[in-house]
Amino acid sequence: MVREGDGSGRILSNVVRSQWEQHRPYGGVVPEIAARAHVECLDLLIEEALGSAGLTLSDLDGIAATAGPGLIGGLMVGLTTAKAVALARGLPLIAVNHLEAHALTVGLTHGVPPPYLLLLVSGGHTQLQIVHGVGRYERLGSTIDDALGEAFDKTAKLLGLGFPGGPAVEKAALAGDPRRFPFPRPMHGRPEPHFSFAGLKTAVRQRAEALQPLDAETVADICASFQAAVAASVADRCAKAMELYELKTGPGAARRLVVAGGVAANMALRDGLAELGRARGFELIVPPPSLCSDNGAMVAWAGAERLARGWTDRLDVPARARWPLDQLAAPVLGAGRLGAKA
């Protein structure tokens, strides 16, 4: 729960219930388990969030809920619950795009208004967008195959590091040599700021298979080398996006690079982007780690921003598995699973 006023915000409560333990035995998120977990805990989470904020439903001005994109089962549970509360209390409903919630988080955490260049990196999305304003987004680049978070998860699974993969790979990489394995830097130097991680995943798998059985030192070196390749590739893609951002927004626009999504918590990635920002004159802004991964506060903030502009939704608004931020952007040539989702 958040309070919005004059473009600034304050978090009143942010209750997060993790499902990692339920999904960990399967090495990834199982949609049916996720949907059932939502059903089992959502009422209690609402009660806990209200109690933590010292509020009741009567104190609220609106109800915001994620309506997409994502796993449709969990989306339907959350959105249906929000509709029921909105109907029962006579409150406006705001159906929030999950990607917009990530995109606008820095308004809540840092008071940063658009425009800015956004790098969105998560388990299901890897995109570069210009955030022109609330509800106004221009996609510059997207992944043509896998999302960065998925690449971390698959690497961790391959090396037996567990789930979620991002923190596991980062922890192992701390003890590794990032120069031992010269993994490829996908899309390096390309004029369009798109991403690709499928080839990098394949290179990691081939090297790991060739070195079986793997000792702890080799696992750490693979993780460190993989992470170095990721950081270099992402920095190169962001450098191209910075050039486009300056062309499209003009010389007077603020030079800010905002990084959002779960992978934004990776320190190697952040260090590489901070160095790039210093070289290009861009300020790097990243929300606190707790607000990089999925959370209710960012959804509430996006809802509050839309509500402040009088943008609400009907109670028959559907959940959407796919919902692009920039709905005018053409599909990325060669894009696989995420091309339609980006």
Taking only the tens of pLDDT, the chain with its 342 residues reads 999 876 678 999 998 766 656 656 656 666 666 666 667 778 888 999 999 999 999 999 999 999 999 889 889 999 999 999 999 999 999 999 999 999 999 999 999 999 999 999 988 889 999 999 999 999 999 999 999 999 999 999 999 998 889 999 999 999 999 999 999 999 999 999 999 999 999 999 999 999 999 999 999 999 999 999 999 999 999 999 999 999 999 988 999 999 999 999 999 999 999 999 999 999 999 999 989 988 999 999 999 999 999 999 999 999 999 999 998 888 776 544 433 333
Q: How do residues 100-154 score in pLDDT, each as one tens digit?
A: 999 999 999 999 999 999 999 988 889 999 999 999 999 999 999 999 999 999 9
Please say whether the beta carbons of 139 and 325 come within 8 A: yes
In the chain, the N- to C-terminal Cα span, in Å, equals 27
Q: Which two tokens stand for residue 284?
A: 């790097």
2-102+293-308 is classed CATH 3.30.420.40: yes
Q: Give domain 113-290's CATH architecture.
A: 2-Layer Sandwich (3.30)
Displacement of CA 190 from its chain's centroid (Å)? 24
d(CA 191, CA 219): 34
Helix (H) or strand (E) holding 68: strand 63-68
**Reported pTM:** 0.90
Residues of the chain with CATH 3.30.420.40: 2-102+293-308, 113-290
**Beta bridge pairs of residue 18:** none
Around Cβ 113, how many Cβ atoms within 10 Å? 16
Report the length, in residues, of the chain: 342
Please say whether the beta carbons of 233 and 258 come within 8 A: no
